[in-house]
Structure formats: structure tokens, C-alpha cells
Structure 1
Amino acid sequence: MTTNANRDQFRPEDHPNDHFLLTTVVGSYPKPKWLNRAKELYEDEDHEFDADDWAEAKDDACRLITAEHERAGLDVVVDGEMRRNEMVEFFAHRIDGYEFNGPVKVWGHNYFDKPSVVDDVEYADSWLVDEYEFTAAAAERPVKVPITGPYTLANWSFNEAYEDDEALAYDLADLVNEEIEKLVDAGARYIQIDEPALATTPDDHAIVGECLERIAAGIPDDVRIGLHVCYGDYSRIYPEILDYPVDEFDLELANGDYDQLDVFTADEFTKDLALGVVDAHTAEVESVEEIKENVRKGLEVVPPERLVISPDCGVKLLPREVAFGKMQNMVEAVREVEAELDAGEIEVPAASRRSPADD
């Protein structure tokens, strides 16, 4: 894949620095309180708030959060997943073969409406094209589309129809490929596959690799495909995951104080690194200086032209003002690091500039 040209298509024409570190978000963002209230009204059978009102509320929330991401200065934005409820449940409702039997308690007081696969999964209507087209029309900057990956969709569901989760994941991967083809036709050029289940069940990394081969089949080189992974022991999947047909790996590392950073320096990191530099699990806004230090850690793994900067994960559980503060400080920190790179004030470690011929 043509990684650098693939990333540089998202560089703003008026970018202030010679160096460019792409800034984006993982996906989810806190919903406005009024949107949650609107959902309650819509679900109240005794209230006059109808489907048209609910659709308008979601449209307004998407416009608001997309603009909020742009106001923070992000290079690539999403709508904060304002139309989505949960990363597996949202897609399971749109895939034939799934059904729901009630919520399952996952931790504390949190519940997840865990779906069951009761028949062969099939693709019916598009899942995300309308969402993408609406956001792209509302945005002044490029839009990324996050999609829950087939391995997680299989692993976090009850399987009552397939011989094993591997067979289910492969069928789901074919459906994801079909959806991405429709997104590409609609103009999408940045797709993120979310596979949080990968690092928690690392023995199945070969299954995820086969899923990604199916997903990427026939997708043009100018479409950037990223893989978001979090919550696990990366040493159990690296460097094997470098064989995946993706352009970037989006990794949660700030939450663990970068304890696993050395995993990615032992073997050359041959793809782009989307580095988490703010913690999605702490309701404190990191300072610009602290974030700059985190950004520089990414330069220990890859050179600037292959570094992307984002939060660790989706930030939907944070207070909204905290989430915005993190995004705003993240962008400011990145622009300052770029200027320091231009001035030669930051020395990029030689290890991050290795090529296979050097080994």
C-alpha cells in the first residue's frame, strides 16, 4: 500500500508547518444531554415526540459534534457516533441473522444488549452510507468512518448458528467488505476497523488477519484502512500483525503510561502508527506539554511522516467539556511538535527510520 501518499491526502492545503502529523479521533464522543433526553421522549409511547423529531435531533447532534471536532482543529473528523448506541449492538441490528434477547450485565452497573447469531449472517441495506454522506456534507474537513470489525462482532455475540466463531467472523468480514465498497463509492477515503477483542484473545490473530484480507479485497489503494486495537498485551500479537493489509495501527498506549512502547521498537514498525496521546479513561485534561511528551514517544517507533495522533480510544464516557479540552490541547501540542521538528529542535531516533535493508 502507498502509505505516505495515502496519509498525505488528508493534509490541509494551508498547513502551517513543513512537517505534518495527522490528527484525528478514534470515534465515539459524549452525546449532548439534550440528545439523551430526546431519545427518552421518543421511546415514551405517551409522548408526541415522533420518529421525525428523533431523526432531526440526531441530525442536529451530528452537525454539532462534527463542528466541535473542527473547532478543536482536528485534521480528520467524525460525527462522534451520535447515531450509534453501542459498537456491536448498532451493527447487529442491521445484519440479517442476528436477534436480541435482552441486556447482559458486563461490569458494575453497565449493561450490554448482547446479540445472538441465530442464522447465517447476510447483508441487506447499507449500514453507514447515509451516516457518512450526512457527515461529509456537514463537515469542512475529511471524514473518517469507524466500523466494528468482524472478529469483535463475532466474539462479542452468542453464536447459535455457526460451527465456530472463526466461520462466523469470515462471513461477517465479507459483509464488512461489501459495506466498505459502498462507502468508497459514496466518497469515503478513511476507514477504521475497530477490533478491541483482538488483544484480549491474541491467539486468534491469524483469524483477524484473514478477516482483514477479505475486508481489503478490491479496495483501492487511495482508501486508507486503519485498525484500532486496545486493552491487551501487544507482545502477543506483535510483530505478526504487521502482515495485516492495513495502512495504520491505532493503539491505546497512554492509559498504560507507554509501558508497552518497547514492544514496537524491538521489531521495525513498517506501517503507520496512530498513537494514543490522551487517556480516554481519566476525566482530566492533559496539559499541552504533557501531550507533547507523549507525541515524541511516537517518534521512537516511526518517523514523523508515518505518525498519526489521536486519543487512546473513543471518549464517549467523559464529560463533554473534558473531551473537547483533550482534543483541543492534543491539536495544539501536535502543531508545536511539528514546528519544533521544522526547527530541528527534536532529534528523530535513528531506530524509527530503519528500513528492511538495514536489518
Structure 2
Amino acid sequence: MAVVNTKKTYRADQVGSLLRSDKIKEARKQRDAGEISQEDLKRIENEEIARIVQKQKDVGLEAVTDGEFRRAWWHFDFLENLVGVEGYWSGGGIQFKEQQTKSRAIKVTGKLDFGNHPFLEDFKFLQKQAGDHTAKFTIPSPSMLHFRGEIDTSVYPDEEEFFNDLAAAYKKGIQTFYDAGCRYLQLDDTAWAYLCSDEQKEQLREKGLDPDYLVHKYLETINNAVSDRPDDLKITMHICRGNFRSTWISSGGYEPVAAEIFGKLNIDGFFLEYDTDRAGGFEPLRHVSREDLTIILGLVTSKHGALEDKEEVKKRISEASRYVPLEQLALSPQCGFASTEEGNLLTEEEQWKKLEHVVNIANEVWS
């Protein structure tokens, strides 16, 4: 008997981050210089988040985000506010193609837990602004703490204990967000894209990491984290290939991990980047065997402002439907517009046109 998916599918969706406005960027500089207080910054953030939530409604999106406007990074801000994790300035950033980020990094210095996390208040504010729309909230996947973090082995001499505590902290956090009213949570994860790349897998081996072990442990940890979640909580994952100032990190089709993630990862949907040939073809989607799994095709790029040809996007959706039924597909940009506060190289007006383009194409395909 087929499994019935009772969770709403948003045919036009988004990954979540939006270009930080000039007001936000200026206010953050003023706060850092001591010219305004943290409360002043928060007031400006509130005003700008309210504005961009309304703008998302105006372009036709049903699930709205806060654009990650209170964050500097898509992952570090959340991770370093977990109990047992600290952020620090490392002296070296993450290397992208011809670009490098600022030098932020994280380390595990104590036993992991989910406590009074500041993102809870961020979600509650978003929910108020969302009104009768869905408040979609984005956080990094559990994998990212291990993938990007330094772990104090005196705290966790046994890595198995680390992964167990990591899953437990996330499970507690997911339930806490649910209790606050969250019904759509997205996990962002770059590790799976690295595990699709021969170049990146070789770099992992040079660091003493076994890619096959990571596939196993990340799959197990994520499944532990999302287990026992409420039936009406939608959890999706965005698999990111790198998104900093319109540059990227990893290449390679999804085939190396497709059977594992599509067949064994117990979430409701995947946002997959398909805006360039670096992601390969749709053939790995043949591993989608669940009728309750949604594949959100990232066919519209967030890295530049030129609009994709509508008919070409429709053609590619049709190609993907050879492997996954059309009713299990949706459309989105391939990534957010500002995975870090610096943002991609396009204007805010171009960003809104991109999102409106996604909505218009989705309405025509799934009308």
C-alpha cells in the first residue's frame, strides 16, 4: 500500500537565505564600531525582516523565511550557540574557487546539548510575520558540526559518544522548534556534495578521513536526530556545493551517495542543485523509491541575475520526471542568495525577479 504524504508540497520553494539589505549591512558595521547598540541593530533587523517577508508573499511564495538576516554565516551562527560549542577566529577561511571566506571556525569544548538557543526567538519573530503563510526555518545539518568543527578529544575520546550526543542535541532542538510552532524545518548540508566529488574525497583522505565512513555516520546521525519527530513536521535538506560571492567548491553528480540519501535518509524532501553541469544529470534520481519523498529541483541559479529561459526550465523538469513522477517534483533556486552575509553578485531586484520566475514557472507546470 502506498504511503500517503500528508505534508504540503510547495511547488515553488526557496532555499532560504536572501541578500542582506544595505540597512542591515550598515547597521552591523555601526554596531561593531560601537556607534549603535545590539538592541538598535535588532530593531533594524526586525524592520527589514518584516519587509522581506512581505516581499516573499508578494512574489507568490507560500513558505517564507527571515532571509537569515540575523546571521553572518549559514552554519556557524547556529552551531556555536549549541551547548558545548565555541566559535573563534581561526586565521584562515574556507577556500572557494578564487575566493576565501573570513576566518571563522568552531570547536567542541564540552558535552553537546541544545539549550536556550537564540534562534528560537528568531523563529518566533518570523512566525509572527508569516501570518497565514508557512514560516520556514533553516539550520545546518548535524553533519556540519563534525565536518567543519574541531573536536576536543579530551571531551570526546570516543567518537561514537560524540555522534550520539550530537544526534540527541539535534533531536531536542527539533522538538523545541516544533513546540515553538515550527512545521517546516530545513537542514543545510555541504558534506554530501563533498562526498560526490572525487577531488574533495581525496582531500578528505589526505586529512585522515574515510569518505565511506562519513556516509555511514552522517546518515546514521541525521536519522537519529530526526527520529520520533512529530508527524506534521516537514523536514527537508538542501545539499549545497558551495555558495560564497557567487563562487563554488565541489563538482560531481549525486550518484556516489544517491542510493544512501534517497533510499535511507528519513526526511521529506531534498533541495538539489541542478543549475550547472557540475551537478551531473538526473539519472541518480532513479534511486528515489519512496512515494512520499519530494525532490526540489534547483534549476534557477542564485549566482547571477540573468533569468533562465522558461521553456528550457520546463524541459528539464520534464527530463527529471522520467525518473521521479512529476507530482513528487518541485522547483527552487539552486541555493540561497547569501549563504554568508556578503551575499552573491546580483542585486536585490534581480533576486526578487528570480524568485518570481520560480513561482511563475511552477504555476504553469503544476497548474
The bucket for the TM-score relative to the shorter chain is 0.7 to 0.9
Q: Please give the alpha-carbon distance, in whole angstroms, between the structure 1 residues aligned to 2:66 and 2:301.
A: 20
8 A contact 1:153–1:169 mirrored in 2: no
Q: How many residues align?
A: 325
Percent of aligned positions that are identical: 24
Q: Please give the alpha-carbon distance, in whole angstroms, between the structure 1 residues aligned to 2:356 and 2:278.
A: 21
2:360 aligned partner:
332
1:30 aligned partner:
19
SS at match of 1:82: coil
Q: 1:109 to 1:192 in 2, by over 3 A?
A: closer
* 1:106 is the counterpart of 2:94: yes
* 1:192 is the counterpart of 2:186: yes
1:5 aligned partner:
6
* 1:149 is the counterpart of 2:169: no
CA offset at residue 250 of structure 1? 1.5
2:249 aligned partner:
none
* 1:83 is the counterpart of 2:70: yes
* 1:299 is the counterpart of 2:321: yes
Structure 1 counterpart of 2:93, which letter?
Answer: K
Q: Which runs of 5+ in 1 are unaligned?
A: 9-20, 340-359
8 A contact 2:330–2:362 mirrored in 1: no
Q: 1:64 to 1:230 in 2, by over 3 A?
A: same
2:248 aligned partner:
none
2:150 alignment partner, one of 151, 158, 168? 158
Q: Please give the alpha-carbon distance, in whole angstroms, between the structure 2 residues aligned to 1:38 and 1:165.
A: 41
1:349 aligned partner:
none
Measured against aligned partners, the alpha-carbon deviations of 1:159-197 in whole angstroms (never above 9, x if no partner) come to 223346664343222211111101111221111111211
2:204 aligned partner:
none
SS at match of 1:40: helix
SS at match of 2:64: coil
My pick for the range that moved more, 81-90 or 297-306, is: 297-306
2:244 aligned partner:
none
1:345 aligned partner:
none
2:201 aligned partner:
none
8 A contact 2:271–2:297 mirrored in 1: yes
1:133 aligned partner:
124
Structure 1 counterpart of 2:362, which letter?
Answer: V
Q: 1:2 to 1:219 in 2, by over 3 A?
A: farther
* 1:95 is the counterpart of 2:105: no
CA offset at residue 249 of structure 1? 1.6
Q: Please give the alpha-carbon distance, in whole angstroms, between the structure 2 residues aligned to 1:166 and 1:326.
A: 43
The Cα RMSD (Å) is: 2.2
1:181 aligned partner:
175
